[in-house]
Amino acid sequence: MYETIQSPIRFGRIELKNRIIFAPTTFGVSQEEYIEKIRKIAAGGCAMIIIGDVPVCKGGFGISLYTKKGFAFYQTLAETVHTYHCKICAQLHQSDSDWKAMVRCVLGVLLKRISMDDLRIKLQEAVSPYITNMPLKKVRKITKSFGTAAKLAQQAGFDMVQVHGDRMCGSFASAVYNHRQDAYGGTLKKRARFLLEAVSAVRKAIPEISIDVKLPIRMGQYGKAGFLQEDLSVILPLLERAGADSFHVTLANHDDLENTIPPANHVAFGQEGCFLPFCDAVKQYTKKPVCGVGGLTQPDFVEQQLKSGRIDCAAMSRQLLADSDWPKKVMAGEVNQIRHCVRCNRECLGGLQRHTGTHCIYEKGAKSV
């Protein structure tokens, strides 16, 4: 039972012991608590953990690979995960938030004239002018930095890197945000150049490393960055030529967070496997492994999607926060003992938005459903 979930797979250039991946997650907790959360997830039996938001530049959001303390933190994470025969992947990330726009809002936030929701909207509004007017020298410096950061990640013990195709990569790719008139704007291929150069920089820096691409897709009113489904026939071959070995497919960001992390009552994405239709679109144009994500909680459903070949791996975040032992319980035939994520978003997304950290209602001290 659940033979496909349990089966190993060649994912890009690495071997995974099963088909379950922990999706990149922002926790907003202390480094000690972060390490312990990752340890529990690795001990629970998943095949790989993707560490989210690893900055590619020396200055930026998140823990830096470029500092002695930050590098040591990532080394500890890698060593911890490897203890459980689990792989670890660094999600190389470049924020598209305009620091100057953020600084202008600081006083309003401190005086409570600007709410956190208002701040997010203001920063989103600043993305387009920031991307459009960025000097060419800075653009090229950032794309080159993906290669430098990948080398450091490998030295810290990471088995794989994921190029975060959303945020700055996705904003450059999107005609909604990118209004440049140079080699990085205008046509689809030009708008995709930033992402393609980022992937190429990693491949050039480390020819042997496995490169995953978080591929953001926007649909109608949902998502502003990333690619449209009709772009995929052009983009996927270009990404493969740049060096991509696999794809992590999801909804594009820069929208209400409840769209990209949808609750069970979401009008468009309330169903199990809500983003898998995007994987269907991607599968038309690539034979590379595709990882699906989006409200995956039920073993029978996950097994069916994997067995049919709709996806090659299944990524989970909230479900493994609800029960890090989900893989072990599935493989032991103890599915009736799984604590299922109910996709309420109360202590995970809610905790992150309240700046109390990403947790789960099942954790000690959290409110019950």
pLDDT in tens, 149-169: 999 999 999 999 999 999 999
Cβ neighbours, 10 Å, residue 308: 9
224-236: average pLDDT: 96
pTM: predicted TM-score of the whole model, two decimal places? 0.94
Whether 184 and 220 map to the same domain: the answer is yes
- Alpha-carbon distance values, 330 to 49, 54, 297, 334, 360 (Å): 18, 31, 11, 6, 20
Q: What is the DSSP letter of 309?
A: T
pLDDT in tens, 240-292: 999 999 999 999 987 788 999 999 999 999 999 999 999 999 999 999 999 99
pLDDT at 209 exceeding the cut of 60: yes
Catalytic residue, candidates 167, 218, 318, 343: 167
Q: Please report whether residue 368 resides in a domain.
A: no
- Which residues, 6+ apart, have CB-to-CB distance to 288 below 8 Å? 12, 240, 244, 245, 246, 247
222-226: average pLDDT: 90
Q: Please report whether residue 359 resides in a domain.
A: no
Q: What is the pLDDT of residue 369?
A: 42
> Domain containing 197: what range?
3-93+134-353
pLDDT in tens, 297-339: 999 999 999 999 999 999 999 999 999 999 999 999 999 999 9
pLDDT at 211 exceeding the cut of 90: yes
Whether 205 and 171 map to the same domain: the answer is yes
pLDDT in tens, 232-242: 999 999 999 99
User: Do residues 275 and 260 touch, judged by C-beta distance below 8 A?
Assistant: no
Q: What is the pLDDT of residue 253?
A: 81
Q: Please report whether residue 30 resides in a domain.
A: yes
Q: How many CA atoms lie less than 13 Å away from 285 in the CB half-sphere?
A: 17
Q: Please report whether residue 182 resides in a domain.
A: yes
Residue 167 annotated among the catalytic residues of the structure = yes
Whether 120 and 239 map to the same domain: the answer is no
Q: Please report whether residue 333 resides in a domain.
A: yes
- Alpha-carbon distance values, 57 to 77, 133, 255, 290 (Å): 20, 19, 25, 28
Whether 224 and 183 map to the same domain: the answer is yes
Q: Please report whether residue 365 resides in a domain.
A: no
Residue 263: both structure tokens together: 């609750």
pLDDT in tens, 69-128: 999 999 999 999 999 999 999 999 998 887 676 666 666 666 666 676 666 666 777 899
**33/39 Cα distance (integer angstroms):** 10
Q: What is the pLDDT of residue 368?
A: 42
Whether 143 and 171 map to the same domain: the answer is yes
Number of domains in the chain: 2
Q: List the CATH number of the domain containing 153.
A: 3.20.20.70
Whether 85 and 111 map to the same domain: the answer is no
Whether 116 and 167 map to the same domain: the answer is no
